[in-house]
Structure formats: C-alpha cells, structure tokens
C-alpha cells in the first residue's frame, strides 16, 4: 500500500511539490530561526563525489588557523566542537534541521559554517535563503537521474549553489565545467570564478606529478600568480590520503583557503595533516590482507577507487576483490555501468545488496549483471579459484555472506575493496534500518575462517 507521500509524488510534478511545500517550509524555518546565517561566512560544497572529504579538509584547515568553524555533512554535523547526528542516509537535512543547526552555530559564536549540499536539497529549496559566500562543486557525473531525468537538469540543480555566491570554485577538468561557467555567466556574472585541476596548467590551482608511498600521496600544488597576487607560486605537499580523486578534493580545499586569504604555509600544514574521513578509502590490514572501505556508490566514484587500486596500489601477484551493490529505488541507469567498471578492474567482483529499500534484490542484481557481461567477465562459484588473467564475478544477495565469501576466497597479500556503505551505521531493507558496519562485517568474516 502506497504512503500519502508516495501518492502525492505520483499525482504532482516535483517542481510543484518544491514550490508549494518545500519552499514555504524553508522560508518559515528561516524566519522561525531568526535568519541565523546572516552573521557567518557560509561555504557550500556539492558534487557527485568528494563532498564529505572536501568538507573535512576545509574544516581542518579553518580549525588550524584558529577560526571558529562548524560543518553539516553526510557523516554528521559539528558545532562548537560538539558532534551532532544528522540522521541515517541523509546528506542535506530538512530546512528545519538546517536552520536549527545554523542557529546553534550562531549562538556558539561560530564564524564559518560549511554545508554539504545535494542536488536534491538544492532543487527542493531546503537551502533557500542561505547566503553562501563561497560555493564549491567537486565534479558532476552520472547520478540521481531517476530524480533529475537528464544530466543537464542534474547540472542545473547543482549550479543553484552558485546563485548568489561571491566566489565559485570549479573543477576545470570535469565534464560539467563548460555548463557551469555558462550558467554563471547568465545567472551570477559578478561571481569570482576560481578553478582547480589535477594536471591542467591553465587552472588557478593545479597539481604536479603524483607519487604514492606508505599510504601518502606526494605532489606539488601550483598557484596562479595572477589569480592570487602575492602568493607563492607552488607548495610541496604530502597528503596522508591515497588516490588522484583525493588530491582533487585537496585542491578544492586549497582553492577555498586561498580565496579566504589563508597563508600558503598554513594551507601546507593543514594538507599535510589532512584528516582521515570515515568510510573514504578507509584502510585496515586484517590477516595480511589490505582492506579498503569506501562510500563509492556512483560509477565515477567506483572507477576512481578501483582504477587507483588496480593500477597504482596492487603489486605483482596481488589480486583485487571488490564487494558492492546498488541502492534500491534510485538511479537504475547507473547499475550496468557499475557492473562493467567493477569487473574491468577487479579480479573478482561480488554483486550484493546495498540499501535495497522496497526493491527486490535479485532485480537489482539482474540490472547490474549486464555490465559484467560487457566486460566479458566469467561467473564463478565460491568454491572456485580466482584466476589472475580472467575477469570474474558472482552474485551473493546477502551482504554479510558476500563479505564472508570475499574473505574466504582471498589469500594473504590480496586487496579487498568494500564499496557503497562506507561510514553508514545501518542498512535499509524494506522500511527497516538494520545495524550495519563494514568494518565489523569484514572482521567477523575473517574470525569465522581462522
């Protein structure tokens, strides 16, 4: 039986719901809270991937300069050094929650707040009336097309973050770059545009060659002297995170720091001590296997993680095993793409459950599997040996059983990547949230095969 919410969604277009419900709610929430954001410097961060890692780095940078800062992210909110839960499976909370958190921040004397903003939150006016000073878009790739219908509408929803910003920070190498700059030229031509890129020397902030050693990424950050006059031209950095995608997130932080007129040496110190983000390339060694837990749940995020592990991290003789699923009642178009990306990079890909919601898990796996076949991966059984020269996959609907199988089939020296759940503490099946921990799941898997 459909809920009232589901019936309303069926009868009314989303744009009408946004105008008649979400926007009035956001206006009321802001008025009731007393417009708390007016006294703070507000930084919004959006993008398909990398939002939370960018927010953690920016918060760390501001704290290192003794700035009283706070944030609202997928993982949690932090205000006045107090950690506050924002709920399960939520990135941008409701307008009422956001305004109440901003009011708490104002009362605590917070000067800078960083908000993780989703395309849903922006499109649904949950962030209406929040005067962002700086907007950062990390990237925009295939995601949420079940809601936005087209990639172009998805980009437009993200671009709403830039509506009234003074500074827009954009990834110059992302496929969305031209669309975003065109949108800014039309809707906010006064905004200062700052670009970052991994290796595009025309960007305002870009990275030199990357090298990896002992869980760290070393690179030189180059700074455009015309954009930031008086700044030094380069900073040599050692980022305690792995992968080019994390370097891109760090570059966004550096660009924001320079826009806030933070000294390069302070930026250098903060980047060199960049905090680990729960569930983002989170590393553990268990029974001589390298375990990576990552929130990657999009084709772009999965590709970044698995390509890095396969091409830069894996040593001769090591095998890469990945366990992943796709969320139910969400963008179905991405499912075969994720199956293809997984099997093109991992020696063994185990297709399993994520947050299935009310969708049948076998239906979800049926839609992932064609991508595995495109890459000519071979289906195998848990009793088989994992070949190193043949791409393989298997379907195991239960996530704990899938992780048990990955552990049992692995050998010392192998790398196991658990993707999709990351930091989350629950898994959603039907309408019930069941306690979940990727780390506990993999630890218990190895305990059972001792």
Is residue 213 domain-resident?
yes
Q: Which of 254, 272, 290 is the last residue of a domain?
A: 272
- Give me the pLDDT at residue 26, please: 67
Predicted TM-score (pTM) of the model is: 0.83
Is residue 163 domain-resident?
yes
Distances (CA, A) of 206 to 168, 193, 273: 16, 15, 19
Looking at the structure, tell me whether residues 165 and 231 fall in a common domain. Answer: yes
Is residue 309 domain-resident?
yes
Looking at the structure, tell me whether residues 56 and 187 fall in a common domain. Answer: yes
Is residue 35 domain-resident?
yes
Distances (CA, A) of 105 to 85, 170, 185: 15, 27, 33
Is residue 62 domain-resident?
yes
Residue 423's nearest CA partner among 67, 102, 52, 24 is: 52
- Give me the pLDDT at residue 1, please: 46
Looking at the structure, tell me whether residues 35 and 103 fall in a common domain. Answer: yes
Looking at the structure, tell me whether residues 359 and 253 fall in a common domain. Answer: no
Q: Which residues contact 124 (CB under 8 A, 6 or more apart)?
A: 17, 18, 22
Distance CA(43)–CA(137), nearest Å, equals 11
> pLDDT tens, 252-266?
999 999 999 999 999
> pLDDT tens, 200-213?
999 999 998 999 88
The pairing of beta strand 415-419 with beta strand 289-294: parallel
Are the CB atoms for 140 and 160 separated by under 8 Å?
no
Looking at the structure, tell me whether residues 223 and 307 fall in a common domain. Answer: no
**CA gyration radius for the chain?**
22
Looking at the structure, tell me whether residues 186 and 291 fall in a common domain. Answer: no
Is residue 293 domain-resident?
yes
CATH number of the domain to which 290 belongs: 3.90.190.20
Q: Which of 223, 241, 272 is the last residue of a domain?
A: 272
* Residue span of the structural domain in which 351 resides: 282-448
Q: Give me the residues of the chain with pLDDT under 50, please.
A: 1
Is residue 277 domain-resident?
no
- Give me the pLDDT at residue 49, please: 85
Looking at the structure, tell me whether residues 80 and 107 fall in a common domain. Answer: yes
Distance CA(197)–CA(206), nearest Å, equals 5
Burial of 266 (0-12, 13-18, 19+ CB in 10 A): middle
Looking at the structure, tell me whether residues 117 and 235 fall in a common domain. Answer: yes
Is residue 111 domain-resident?
yes
What is the 3-class SS of 179-196, one letter each residue? HHHHHHHHHCCCCEEEEE
Place of tokens 């030189």: 220
Two structure tokens written together for 189: 């031509």
Distance CA(206)–CA(224), nearest Å, equals 9
Distance CA(105)–CA(218), nearest Å, equals 35
Looking at the structure, tell me whether residues 53 and 192 fall in a common domain. Answer: yes
Number of domains into which the chain is organized: 2
Q: Which of 272, 298, 326 is the last residue of a domain?
A: 272
Looking at the structure, tell me whether residues 439 and 305 fall in a common domain. Answer: yes
Looking at the structure, tell me whether residues 106 and 126 fall in a common domain. Answer: yes
Looking at the structure, tell me whether residues 244 and 312 fall in a common domain. Answer: no
CATH number of the domain to which 190 belongs: 3.40.1190.10
């Amino acid at each position: 039986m459909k809920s009232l919410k589901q019936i309303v969604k069926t009868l009314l277009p989303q744009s009408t719901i946004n105008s008649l419900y979400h926007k009035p709610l956001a206006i009321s929430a802001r008025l009731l809270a007393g417009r708390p954001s007016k006294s703070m410097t507000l930084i919004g961060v959006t993008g398909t991937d990398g939002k939370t890692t960018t927010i953690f780095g920016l918060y760390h940078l501001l704290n290192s300069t003794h700035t009283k800062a706070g944030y609202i992210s997928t993982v949690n909110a932090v205000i006045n050094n107090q950690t506050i839960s924002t709920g399960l499976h939520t990135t941008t909370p409701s307008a009422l929650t956001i305004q109440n958190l901003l009011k708490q921040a104002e009362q605590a004397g917070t000067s800078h707040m960083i908000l993780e903003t989703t395309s849903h939150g922006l499109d649904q006016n949950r962030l209406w009336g929040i005067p962002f000073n700086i907007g950062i878009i990390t990237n925009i790739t295939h995601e949420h097309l079940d809601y936005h219908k087209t990639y172009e509408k998805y980009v437009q929803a993200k671009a709403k973050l830039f509506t009234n910003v003074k500074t827009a920070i954009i990834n110059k190498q992302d496929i969305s770059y031209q669309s975003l700059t065109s949108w800014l030229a039309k809707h906010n031509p006064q905004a200062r545009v700052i670009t970052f890129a991994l290796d595009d020397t025309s960007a305002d902030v870009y990275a030199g060659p990357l090298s990896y050693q002992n869980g760290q990424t070393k690179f030189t950050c180059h700074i455009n002297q015309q954009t930031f006059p008086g700044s030094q031209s380069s900073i040599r950095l050692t980022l305690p995170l792995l992968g080019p995608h994390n370097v891109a997130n760090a570059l966004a932080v550096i660009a924001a720091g320079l826009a806030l007129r933070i000294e390069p040496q302070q930026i250098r110190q903060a980047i060199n001590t960049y905090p680990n983000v729960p569930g983002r390339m989170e590393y553990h060694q268990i029974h001589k296997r390298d375990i990576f837990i990552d929130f990657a749940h999009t084709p772009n995020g999965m590709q970044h993680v698995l390509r890095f592990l396969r091409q830069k991290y894996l040593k001769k003789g090591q095998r890469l095993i990945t366990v992943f699923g796709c969320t139910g009642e969400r963008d179905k178009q991405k499912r075969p793409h994720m199956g293809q990306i997984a099997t093109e990079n991992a020696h063994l890909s185990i297709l399993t459950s994520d947050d299935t919601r009310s969708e049948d898990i076998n239906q979800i796996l049926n839609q992932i599997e064609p991508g595995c076949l495109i890459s000519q991966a071979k289906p195998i059984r848990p009793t088989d040996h994992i070949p190193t020269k043949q791409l393989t996959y298997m379907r195991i609907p239960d996530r704990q059983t899938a992780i048990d199988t990955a552990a049992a089939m692995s050998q010392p020296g192998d790398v196991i990547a658990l993707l999709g759940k990351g930091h989350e503490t629950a898994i959603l099946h039907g309408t019930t949230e069941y306690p979940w921990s990727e780390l506990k799941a993999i630890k218990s898997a190895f305990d059972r095969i001792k």
